A and B are shown apart, each in its own frame.
Chain A
Amino acid sequence: MNPLVPMIASTVVAATPLIYAALGETVVERSGVLNLGIEGMMLIGAVSGFAATYATGSDAVGFLAAAAAGVALSLVFGFLTLNLQTNQVATGLALTLFGIGLSAFVGYNYAGLPVNRLPAITIPGLTAIPVIGDLLFHYDIMVYLSIALYLGVLWFLTKSRMGLTLRAIGESPGVAHAIGKPVLTTRYLAVMFGGATAGIAGAYLSLVQTPMWVEGMSAGKGWIALALVVFGTWKPTRVVIGAYLFGGVTQFQLFAQGFGLPIPTEFLSMLPYAATVVVLVIICRDPKTILLNQPASLGHSFHSAA
């Protein structure tokens, strides 16, 4: 078998949770809200999804429960930052810490239990094609839905009226409010969307990538998703490319080791992060690319005094 095929397949599986979490955060940040709680929402999603699937045997119920749990946690964040106008950075960090602890607490009795992995779908005629079938048509449904989500977010942000409103609010909530746009409602919906996708990303870990629940199983992927949003300069297409790039570099270093290439593993482990730094430096060299794309009101509370 061509070793490239499983390498690419592993890359896709590694990148999918990052795509869900990062696309959600892209929408949240485009509305001018910075939610650093992705890691916490992912863990809550992971444990809720696992518990629901374990209890019902249905993957669909698991992913729905994960999304609902992510939304519930994001509402806490929304209430604190949007209604009470707390600092978004501090609240987001608190959300992550809370999510880590709560998921460990709730998941105590689920540790070490197995569930069946979400099966890959087979498309009659297509999956059987050699190489191409393995490469493109041999994934679980959530991989294809992540592509659909990407197209949906892309359309929403660039083509839909609501998406343009959301971006306007992210740039200048004061002006948007003055012309009668619902700032708070839009931001709430964005935060909830981010919560749902982070929850689904978490469930992808506990139901597909490694079908089990263990404490802290996201192992920092929420932070990588956050970095990807900046890496992709708040543009969905670049965010998705970044996720695949990141998954690919991580995967490459494992393959290189297995083939016995004489490269230090520490260096290889560092590669994805180093790549992120390099891209960030390149992006930031031109202030136009970063400043024009970064939502102007990102991280600022909005208070409708008028």
Chain B
Amino acid sequence: MQRTKISKLVPMCLATAMAVSVPAAAFAAEPLKVAFVYLGPRGDGGWTQQHDMGRLGLEKAMGDKIKTTFVENVPETADSERVFRQLASDGYKLIFATSFGYMEPLQKVAKLFPDVKFEHVNGFKTAKNIVVYEPRFEEGFYLIGTLAGQMTKSNTLGFIGSFPIPSVVRNVDSMTLGAQAVNPKVKTKAIWVNTWYDPGKERQAADTLIAEGADNVAQNTDSPASIQAAQEKGTYAFSIDADMSKFGTKAQLSGTTEDWTGYYIAETQKVLDGTWTGERHTRWGLKEGMVVMAPLNSAIPPAAVKVFEEKKAALIAGTLNPFGGPIKDNTGKEMVAANATISEAAFNSMNWYVEGIDGSIPK
């Protein structure tokens, strides 16, 4: 059995290696070469898989106007600098760096290759030839809260966090706000596992939350372990990045996933048209289709689906902001005034729990 796997893989690896090393041909109308750098394997069933689907979507839309390649399993270390340098030297003019931790290596390489355009996901440092793009995850988590708040019987939600950084803290806050909007009695318990990816630990965290009474658990970590836990315990869970319902058809109510295709097409088109500029920070959400909710479970009653659709429509229309006031933190201090929305600076540096989340954020 292993032999068949190997025979399938070898040509694939060779193809990848060749795609990376083919030098730029000096034709006048040569296709634009676009590269993608991935943190994980394409088959990770989550984050990287979604980026690769975006790449394939881009290829399909652009045809022979472009050529793409990818390098997978690139750690967020000095190794990534070598990969970026190599791609830039090989004539790739547009490079998508699909993990937060590539930020510093990218800064270095971008200075050396001023004519190469770099796109960095979830970062915060732009440059003349670096732009940053990120999904409005908080919209997806708000809708998770909308569903969880209606489906919970214990009025207790769970959240498995990776690291307590602003872009993750926002999500537990947003989920709790979304739930409280439909069910004021909701409380949230958060557990931080200090890793993006450790199936065993994520599973333990999910079991713990369920044991402590959380009957709807969302996650900001990468494996489907919590979906499996919920399936076994007969509770509900929400996927992240990709649809993970095959790991728990009864348990997964929905989830927040990403579709990068539209953004990749738009940016590539800009490069082709010569209208690409640096120093931009793009945040796309439900409206632009970068944040997509995973299919809703049939266990959700129609009335709850209706509320969900209303909230979703309001988020898309811009009439609902997850962080619209009044919002208090969990010590009772007013963080956002009534009739106001959160400031850009406060949003980017969020380090407080909203009212209704137990405990305090690890500092």
Binding site for B on A (CB under 8 A): 1, 3, 6-7, 10, 14, 51, 55, 104-106, 108-109, 111-112, 114, 117, 205, 209-212, 214-215, 217, 219, 221, 250-251, 254-255, 257-262, 264-266, 269
**Closest beta carbon of chain B to A16's beta carbon, Å:** 11
Across chains A and B, which 6 residue pairs bring their CB atoms closest together, nearest first? A260-B359, A260-B358, A6-B211, A112-B45, A210-B199, A265-B362
State in angstroms the CA–CA spacing of A55 and B202 once bound together. 26
Q: Quick one: CB contact mask for B216-231 with A, threshold 8 Å, 1 for yes?
A: 0000000111001000
Q: Which of A106, A112, A255 touches B5 (beta carbons < 8 Å)?
A: A106
B190 interface residue, CB < 8 Å from A? Answer: yes
B52 interface residue, CB < 8 Å from A? Answer: no
Known: A106-B5, A257-B359, A261-B359. A112 touches B43 (CB 8 A): yes
Question: Are the C-beta atoms of A251 and B358 separated by less than 8 Å?
Answer: no
**Closest beta carbon of chain B to A219's beta carbon, Å:** 5
Question: Are the C-beta atoms of A255 and B212 separated by less than 8 Å?
Answer: yes
Known: A6-B207, A111-B45. A214 touches B199 (CB 8 A): yes
B198 interface residue, CB < 8 Å from A? Answer: yes
In addition to A6-B207, A209-B200, A255-B212, 17 A-B residue pairs with Cβ atoms within 8 Å of each other are A6-B210, A108-B9, A111-B45, A112-B45, A114-B228, A114-B246, A210-B228, A214-B197, A214-B223, A215-B44, A257-B208, A258-B209, A258-B212, A260-B358, A260-B359, A265-B192, A269-B194
State in angstroms the CA–CA spacing of A6 and B246 once bound together. 26
Q: Quick one: CB contact mask for B180-216 with A, threshold 8 Å, 1 for yes?
A: 0000000001111111011111111101111110100
Question: Are the C-beta atoms of B211 and A265 separated by less than 8 Å?
Answer: no
**Closest beta carbon of chain A to B233's beta carbon, Å:** 9
Could you say which of A1, A205, A265 has the most chain B C-beta atoms within 10 Å of its C-beta? A265
B363 interface residue, CB < 8 Å from A? Answer: yes
Chain B, Cβ-Cβ closest to A219: B198
The interface residues of chain B lying within 8 Å CB-to-CB of A55 are 1
The interface residues of chain A lying within 8 Å CB-to-CB of B9 are 105, 108
The interface residues of chain B lying within 8 Å CB-to-CB of A212 are 199, 223-225, 228, 247
**Closest beta carbon of chain A to B74's beta carbon, Å:** 14
Known: A104-B41, A111-B45, A258-B191. A210 touches B223 (CB 8 A): yes
State in angstroms the CA–CA spacing of A221 and B158 once bound together. 26
The interface residues of chain B lying within 8 Å CB-to-CB of A117 are 228, 232
**Closest beta carbon of chain A to B138's beta carbon, Å:** 22
The interface residues of chain B lying within 8 Å CB-to-CB of A109 are 5, 8, 43
**Closest beta carbon of chain B to A70's beta carbon, Å:** 15
B303 interface residue, CB < 8 Å from A? Answer: no
Question: Are the C-beta atoms of B6 and A105 separated by less than 8 Å?
Answer: yes
**Closest beta carbon of chain B to A233's beta carbon, Å:** 26
Question: Are the C-beta atoms of A265 and B194 separated by less than 8 Å?
Answer: yes
Question: Are the C-beta atoms of B204 and A10 separated by less than 8 Å?
Answer: yes
State in angstroms the CA–CA spacing of A109 and B41 once bound together. 11
State in angstroms the CA–CA spacing of A260 and B350 once bound together. 19
Question: Are the C-beta atoms of B43 and A108 separated by less than 8 Å?
Answer: yes
State in angstroms the CA–CA spacing of A102 and B141 once bound together. 37
Question: Are the C-beta atoms of A214 and B44 separated by less than 8 Å?
Answer: yes
B343 interface residue, CB < 8 Å from A? Answer: no
Question: Are the C-beta atoms of B204 and A266 separated by less than 8 Å?
Answer: no
State in angstroms the CA–CA spacing of A114 and B248 once bound together. 9
Question: Are the C-beta atoms of A257 and B360 separated by less than 8 Å?
Answer: no
Question: Are the C-beta atoms of B44 and A14 separated by less than 8 Å?
Answer: no
State in angstroms the CA–CA spacing of A111 and B72 once bound together. 15
**Closest beta carbon of chain A to B216's beta carbon, Å:** 14
**Closest beta carbon of chain A to B5's beta carbon, Å:** 6
State in angstroms the CA–CA spacing of A251 and B208 once bound together. 8
State in angstroms the CA–CA spacing of A258 and B158 once bound together. 8
The interface residues of chain A lying within 8 Å CB-to-CB of B158 are 258
